[in-house]
Structure 1
Amino acid sequence: MTGIGHGLGWASFGLFLCIVAGLASGRLTRRQCSGLLAIAYAVGGLAATLMGQTIGAVFDAALAAFFAHDWWQRGGGGGTRRRLRSLRSKFTGVRRTAPASA
């Protein structure tokens, strides 16, 4: 399994370098970079997990969560937010307590 892990690690590193180049050249916004970095660190965390590097996996998972949160807060996932709001509106509250007269 380490062969797959090493391949994913290099893929994550390559994506990271592409993101840095896109940010430096001005072709990517910070929101786009945050979303791509979340994906890169998630792939890196998977690679670290497959290679048995638990500390690296935890580090990558924390960074993936941080960048996913940053992407979400900067307006990423507008379609996802819209779908969640429409799903939320389908649920109605139901009183589950006994009436006061009982």
Structure 2
Amino acid sequence: MDIQRKKGLLDVCVLAVLRRGPSYGYKIIGEVSSCIEVSESTLYPILKRLEANGYVTTDTQEHGGRIRRYFYITDAGQERIDAFLDEWDEVKRIYAFIKGEEV
């Protein structure tokens, strides 16, 4: 898959995981990996970018004697998911056009 397309999809997939509830890096990787491959080296820059854009916030909590960073979706993050879903009809028309189907 094209890197830029995958990057945009990963952003929304991470937000979709967080829409289900707060989560941390390793758990997010496990959930996202069920539909698209993601590694730690890919996930953490995504989370940093999502936080910088106001789509997620963070909090730290102790877990098993270690500090774990949890990520939470914001209203802006939910709006990003909604915008992505609204774009889906346009994407389907583009794919149909490329495949030579009637649009």
When you count helix as a share of all residues, which structure comes out higher? 1
Alignment TM-score > 0.5, same fold: no
TM-score by length of 1: 0.30
TM-score by length of 2: 0.30
Which of structures 1 and 2 has the bigger CA Rg?
1
When you count strand as a share of all residues, which structure comes out higher? 2
